[in-house]
Amino acid sequence: MMNMKEHVGMHPPPLGPGGPKYSPLHRHHDRGLEMTRRHCMNGPGNFFGPLDDSGFLARAEALAAVDVMSSMVKTSQPHMTIKNDTNYSHHHAVNSGMHPAHFAPTSSPVSRGLPHHHSMDHGEFLDISAAASLPGSGPGPGLSDVQSAAAAAAAAAAVSHQSSFTPLPGTGGHFNPMNTMMPHGMGMHDIDTDPRELEAFAERFKQRRIKLGVTQADVGKALANLKLPGVGSLSQSTICRFESLTLSHNNMIALKPILAAWLDEAEAAARDNRNSPGILDNGDKKRKRTSIAAPEKRSLEAYFTVQPRPSSEKIAAIAEKLDLKKNVVRVWFCNQRQKQKRMKYSAQPR
């Protein structure tokens, strides 16, 4: 079974299977650089200063950039503040349910509706009761059993959520979306939204997951198998990002109970040591990814410091100068904005 999306079918580039590759890799660049750049930026001339090591080349880019910027910078104010996700001031209602397309709802496996201010209630999206299975592809030694057991358990059992993972007292299990502006003296309810709690949980989750011999991808699929209402599968990417806190604060909060539930069950299953066949997946891969060259990326970053939200026209102008498709530029800006909001790099006091 493949789970390609509808959209993929629309304009899927001619591509062969890329083949899954894994690299223990590292996290080379970006974030830090990004931040640094922002902090350093003061004037048009400085935007590129810190970045450019090559000199003239970067300079050329800078000039071009300034050109476009000049039109958008009128009353410009170079400054950006790294906004923490506390700025979220809107939206979403809960999950839209899954699509009939196979089992993995790509659009909203979980609930997009994050708890926000006013009336929120959570708990609903974790209501679980399901059955899951795990991949039997044993990566290693003799962990297969554990994995299967874990998966099976997760599947079979329902979940409560915080279980043994949330040592925090206090909120009797309610989310408190508003702690966004508390300097430090949370009073009663930010526990669920407390960054430190999330961080602690993420770390714990990862450690235990590994101990169970389950991969990030396995966890994502197991969640789907649990068939919790409104909760589909999650990708390896998302699990990874959860563990590394590279998700928005709200997203972390929404996912935590779900993952906590899985972990709880998985460990229970491991304890009982049961075996389940587990469904192995196949994977078809397709879609191609466009990549933006370094020079262009640098220019985009420069523009971003000046105007994180360029108008459609500015985007078009930038796209032309950099010889990129307008949509690519637009998406790049969107993604850049999102990055600013990721938990790990948001000014979370710690």
Partner DNA sequence: ATGCATGAGAA
Partner DNA sequence: TCTCATGCATA
Q: Considering only residues 231-260, where is the footprint of DNA by CB under 7 A?
A: 232-238, 240-241, 243-244, 246-248, 250-251, 254-255
Q: Considering only residues 24-43, where is the footprint of DNA by CB under 7 A?
A: 25-27, 29-31
Candidates 47, 48, 332, 345; binder of DNA (CB under 7 A) is: 332
Q: What's phi and psi for 119, nearest 5 deg?
A: -80, 115
Smallest distance from DNA to CB 275, Å: 27
Asked if 225 contacts 128 with a C-beta cutoff of 8 angstroms, the reply is no
Strand partners, 248: 342
Q: Is residue 118 a contact point for DNA (CB under 7 A)? A: no
Asked if 296 contacts 41 with a C-beta cutoff of 8 angstroms, the reply is no
Q: Is residue 5 a contact point for DNA (CB under 7 A)? A: yes
Token pair recorded at residue 173: 């299990």
Nearer to DNA, 268 or 303 (CB): 303
Q: What's phi and psi for 248, nearest 5 deg?
A: -70, 160
- DSSP reduced 3-state for 342: strand
Nearer to DNA, 94 or 268 (CB): 94
Nearer to DNA, 135 or 268 (CB): 135
Q: Considering only residues 258-287, where is the footprint of DNA by CB under 7 A?
A: 285-287
**Candidate segments 156-164, 176-184, 195-203, 309-317, binder of DNA by CB under 7 A:** 309-317
Report the C-alpha gap between 148 and 151 in whole angstroms: 5
Asked if 251 contacts 152 with a C-beta cutoff of 8 angstroms, the reply is no
Q: What is the DSSP string of 242-267?
A: HHTT-SBHHHHHHHHHHHHHHHHHHH
Q: Is residue 104 a contact point for DNA (CB under 7 A)? A: yes
Nearer to DNA, 42 or 293 (CB): 293
Determine how many CB atoms are found less than 10 A away from the CB of residue 305.
Answer: 22
Smallest distance from DNA to CB 250, Å: 4
Nearer to DNA, 58 or 202 (CB): 202
Q: Is residue 291 a contact point for DNA (CB under 7 A)? A: yes
Q: Considering only residues 72-91, where is the footprint of DNA by CB under 7 A?
A: 87-91
Alpha-carbon separation of residue 13 from 3, 165, 237, 284, 290 (angstroms): 16, 44, 22, 14, 10
Nearer to DNA, 238 or 299 (CB): 238
Q: Considering only residues 6-25, where is the footprint of DNA by CB under 7 A?
A: 6-8, 10-11, 15, 18, 20-23, 25
Nearer to DNA, 157 or 343 (CB): 343
Q: Is residue 93 a contact point for DNA (CB under 7 A)? A: yes
Report the C-alpha gap between 264 and 201 in whole angstroms: 12
Q: Is residue 203 a contact point for DNA (CB under 7 A)? A: no
Q: Considering only residues 132-171, where is the footprint of DNA by CB under 7 A?
A: none
Q: Which residues contact 248 (CB under 8 A, 6 or more apart)?
A: 85, 88, 338, 341, 342, 343
Q: Is residue 292 a contact point for DNA (CB under 7 A)? A: yes
Q: Is residue 109 a contact point for DNA (CB under 7 A)? A: yes
Q: What is the DSSP string of 83-140?
A: --GGG------S-----SSSS--SS-SS------SSS---SGGG-------------S
Smallest distance from DNA to CB 37, Å: 13
Nearer to DNA, 48 or 88 (CB): 88
